[in-house]
A and B are shown apart, each in its own frame.
Chain A
Amino acid sequence: MCAALAALMLVSLTACGKTEEPERQELFAMDTYMSLAAYGDGAQEALAAAAREINRLEQELSRTVATSDIYKLNDSGSAVVSEETAALLKNAMTYSAATGGLFDVTVAPLVSLWGITTDSPRVPERSEIDALLPLVGSGHIHMDGNSVTLDDGCAVDLGGIAKGYASDRVAEVLRQYAVTGAAVSLGGNVYVCGQKSDGSAWSVAVQDPKNTGAYAMTLELTDVFAVTSGGYQRYFTGPDGTVYQHILDPRTGYPAQTDLLSVTVIGQNGTLADAYSTALYVMGEQAACDFWRQSGGDFDLVLITADGRVLYTPGLADHISQKGADYDFQEVSA
């Protein structure tokens, strides 16, 4: 009898441990690695459609694809772009105005000068940076409907916003299919919706910037977008040993000097989260917290400071499932 019970326990426990595996899709696009997972009868179709949408957006928004709206605009200084590209440029200008220019797509000439994401990054001369700084600022973009003109010498790079926009579009695509839950990471631009097969929310970990083997915190989230910006993975080392990270401060033309290691923005809009995570990283702790207070709580924040603190906004308090032992956790006052 006891042996029979034990055997039953074995079977039931083993069954409890099994969760349905999601459908998965991986792709390299938009200069990053993307992974998508989804549950539901329509998951496979949904992920294939999402991948097609991402590839379509890359063709339209990439700075390096010769047929894209952005390439043509930069190449000739003016272009009639798609309604979608025009809307995204307008959004970029709105975010630039909201952040005092700390997120700005016109930083493109400086990105090229530094060559940070190219085969040959280099430290430019001060004079080279000074020569290009006047070209930075959304005031250099002139729009009349879908017709866009740039001031002489200016260029735009949607790299700081396009993946966030793609996550918005992927969310829209997934809603058109029988998907019960999905977790999408477009190079760190995350969107989670619905539930896992066991009915639970998604565990979203924030990487510990100081230790790749650890997480600073883990949140249980669903139906939100989340983006992290930080300078701890994409950087290069100059001839004198100085480390130059890839996020430029549009005010100085140099890599951002900040008291933050990473900024995570969590909210209902992937494009906004992408733009603001970059801008708030450049701002630094105090200004980022003030910016969040003035935003009226439209989004939540996780700031990891260089002096070992994790600051999180009150809306996240009930979603934290794990706290990294190496950090002092503090809730940001409203």
Chain B
Amino acid sequence: MTSKRSQPELKPKPLDALVVLAVVLLAVGAAWLSYGGKGEGALTATVKHRGQVVAQVELSSLTEEKAVSIDGAYHLTITLDKTGAAVTDSDCPGQDCVHTGRITRAGQSIVCLPEQVIVTLEGKTPSADVILG
């Protein structure tokens, strides 16, 4: 003699949907905190002049181009926008900082040697630890 065991009835209830939603929201939040919040997509530009931080800007917060001026023995204009940074004008000899062009990735930097200006892009996940070239 055999008996047939009945399967429990699985009917989603409104509370289950809320729990699923909570799980999804928490997972997305965790992923954002881990990888997105300050990842390469969320770049912070830091401008240092002779060892002092003169500007620190989260690029995603910019709604238009922002110019940072350096006035020392030489004069530089650093232009920041939502996605990168560049030294757009300088009266320094050599012009290496201008020649570097626009940087857009975490870990990249622009250096003006004569005026000792460093522009760096930082993010939680740098695109590289060291850059050759």
Contacts and interface: CB of A to CB of B under 8 A. Distances in A.
Query: Which of B26, B84, B101, B108 has the largest count of A CB atoms less than 10 A from its CB?
Result: B26
A6 B128 contact: no
A206 B133 contact: yes
B113 A28 contact: yes
B67 interface: no
Interface residues on B, range: 35 or more
A235 B131 CA distance: 20
Interface stretch (B2-10, B58-66, B90-98): B90-98
Interface residues of A, number: 52
Contact of B129 (A26, A196, A215, A228): A196
A189 to B, nearest CB: 9
Interface in A72-131: 117-121
B68 interface: no
B33 A203 contact: no
Nearest to B95: A236
Contacts of B23: 2-3, 5-6
A28 B33 contact: no
Given A13-B34, A31-B113, A213 B132 contact: no
Contacts of A215: 105, 127-128, 131
B111 to A, nearest CB: 4
Interface of B: 19-20, 22-23, 26-27, 29-31, 33-35, 51, 84, 93-96, 99-105, 107-109, 111, 113, 116, 118, 124, 126-133
Top 8 nearest A-B pairs (CB, nearest first) are: A207-B133, A17-B34, A205-B128, A212-B101, A6-B26, A13-B30, A119-B93, A213-B104
